[in-house]
């Protein structure tokens, strides 16, 4: 009986500390916007159900899987509930160059923050064709806007 009482008291004493640590991982919209503005190169992990991901996809997100490579830098977790997002954030191993946070409010909160923020820097603003890589001559396939793709496949090849 005494052991049970001691364990209960220990759990009651540690519970605020555990919830405080979980609270540090959970970012509200203002804190999230500040993090994204400060570090625009982030990895967004979508841990919602497959149906939610299909019905309301999150731009620039990666489907979360337990065994997947996690980038260094800022990692954000969006899940169905705040508790699930915090649990996933706690399960990702800590690395010196990585900070992991859960998004408080889930996908809806993320969409509001993302609408105000710039997209992640993974997308290039420009494209450069390297010198001497363009071939001369007639193209192998010519796409025209007035013809569907099926008609293009049926066309005989030009010689």
Count up the domains in the chain and report the number: 1
Domain-located, residue 147: no
Domain-located, residue 4: no
Residue 106's φ and ψ, nearest 5 degrees, are 70, -145
The residues that bridge with 73 in the sheet, in sequence order, are 98
pLDDT tens digits, one per residue of 1-11: 777 666 655 55
Structure tokens at 113: 């923050």
- More confident of the two residues 158 and 83: 83
Nearest of 105, 104, 111, 106 to residue 26 by alpha carbon: 104
Residues 71/152, Cβ–Cβ less than 8 Å:
no
Domain-located, residue 80: yes
pLDDT at 107: 93
Assess whether pLDDT exceeds 80 at residue 25: yes
Q: Which band of pLDDT confidence, cut at 50, 70 and 90, is reported for residue 106?
A: very high
Q: Is the dihedral of CA 94, 73, 88, 25 positive or negative?
A: positive
Domain-located, residue 46: yes
Domain-located, residue 57: yes
Q: CB-based contacts of 46: which residues, under 8 Å, 6+ apart?
A: 53, 57, 58, 61, 62, 63, 64, 78, 107
Domain-located, residue 15: no
| CATH number of residue 101's parent domain | 3.40.250.10
CA–CA dist 140, 10 (Å, integer): 73
Give the mean pLDDT of 96-121. 85
Give the mean pLDDT of 122-151. 61
CA–CA dist 14, 36 (Å, integer): 32
Lowest-pLDDT range, 81-85, 97-101, 112-116, 133-137? 133-137
Domain that holds residue 36: 25-116
Domain-located, residue 14: no
């Amino acid at each position: 009986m005494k052991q049970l009482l001691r364990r209960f008291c220990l759990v009651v004493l540690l519970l605020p500390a555990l919830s405080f640590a979980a609270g540090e991982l959970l970012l509200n919209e203002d804190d999230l916007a500040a993090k994204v503005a400060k570090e625009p190169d982030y990895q967004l992990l979508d841990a919602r159900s497959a149906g939610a991901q299909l019905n309301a996809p999150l731009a620039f997100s990666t489907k979360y899987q337990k065994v997947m490579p996690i980038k260094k830098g800022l990692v954000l977790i969006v899940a169905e509930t705040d508790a699930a997002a915090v649990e996933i954030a706690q399960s990702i191993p800590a690395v010196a160059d990585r900070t992991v946070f859960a998004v408080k409010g889930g996908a809806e909160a993320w969409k509001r923050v993302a609408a105000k923020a710039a997209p992640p820097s993974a997308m290039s603003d420009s494209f450069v064709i390297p010198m001497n890589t363009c071939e001369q001559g007639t193209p192998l396939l010519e796409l025209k806007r007035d013809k569907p793709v099926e008609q293009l496949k049926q066309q005989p090849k030009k010689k």
